[in-house]
């Protein structure tokens, strides 16, 4: 127990592809004191890394498109345009994951990389944290279908002008939070990249 949070109980509800725990807890109240006991389920994803692949020579971003069941269930398109991303495995650093996933998902070799932000993906229901990076790549040879067959991945590389990617954030073609954050960051901070990559 800390002065702000007391975990009273934890129960594992699911341990398949996704892990879900139920916590019984009390937390500090803004007005003072502690809450009554609450029950909250948490999707246990853990740390992940995501990287926006940017080619400054051609002012283009490289995204990937793959099937995602969550958006489909929510009534959105099931094939999602997104930045390269993956979960951090034991013994890996987030930057290692960014480099590995760039090769696995897009066939891309990173020539420079910089950290941008660390944030939670969906704080109301998940413990997933995202370390977001921006990497310099040569996009001219990036294309095709990638991914690991043993993980059921079927990932298509999509290279598009930066301006089109930014427009896609406003017209609904890009509708996932991590990619929206990454492309918005690029639009606001592109002039900072040489210093970040040096």
Tell me which residues are annotated as active site: 151
Query: Coil, strand or helix: which one is 118?
Result: strand
Retrieve residue 21's tokens. 């725990």
Q: Within a 10 A sphere around the Cβ of 75, how many other Cβ atoms?
A: 6
Q: Which residue has the tokens 């760039």?
A: 102
Question: CA 142, CA 136: separation in Å to the nearest integer?
Answer: 13
Contact between 95 and 133 under an 8 Å Cβ cutoff? The reply is yes
- Helix H or strand E segment including 177: helix 177-189
Retrieve residue 187's tokens. 């639009």
Reference 40, options 22, 13, 28; nearest CA is 22
Contact between 84 and 64 under an 8 Å Cβ cutoff? The reply is yes
Contact between 66 and 80 under an 8 Å Cβ cutoff? The reply is yes
Retrieve residue 166's tokens. 């930014």
């Amino acid at each position: 127990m800390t002065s702000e949070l007391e975990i009273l109980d934890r129960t594992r509800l699911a341990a398949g592809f996704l892990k879900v725990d139920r916590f019984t807890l009390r937390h500090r109240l803004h007005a003072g004191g502690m809450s009554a006991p609450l029950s909250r389920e948490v999707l246990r994803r853990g740390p992940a890394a995501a990287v926006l692949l940017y080619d400054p020579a051609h002012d283009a971003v490289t995204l990937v498109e793959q099937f995602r069941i969550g958006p489909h269930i929510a009534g959105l398109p099931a094939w999602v345009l997104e930045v390269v991303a993956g979960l951090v495995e034991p013994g890996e650093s987030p930057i290692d994951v960014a480099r590995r996933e760039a090769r696995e998902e897009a066939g891309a070799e990173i020539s420079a990389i910089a950290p941008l932000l660390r944030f939670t993906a969906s704080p109301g229901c998940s413990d997933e944290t995202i370390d977001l990076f921006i990497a310099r790549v040569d996009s001219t040879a990036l294309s095709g279908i990638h991914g690991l067959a043993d993980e059921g991945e079927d990932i298509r590389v999509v290279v598009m002008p930066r301006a089109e990617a930014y427009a896609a954030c406003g017209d609904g073609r890009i509708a996932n939070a991590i990619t929206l954050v990454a492309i918005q960051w690029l639009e606001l901070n592109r002039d900072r990249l040489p210093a970040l990559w040096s």
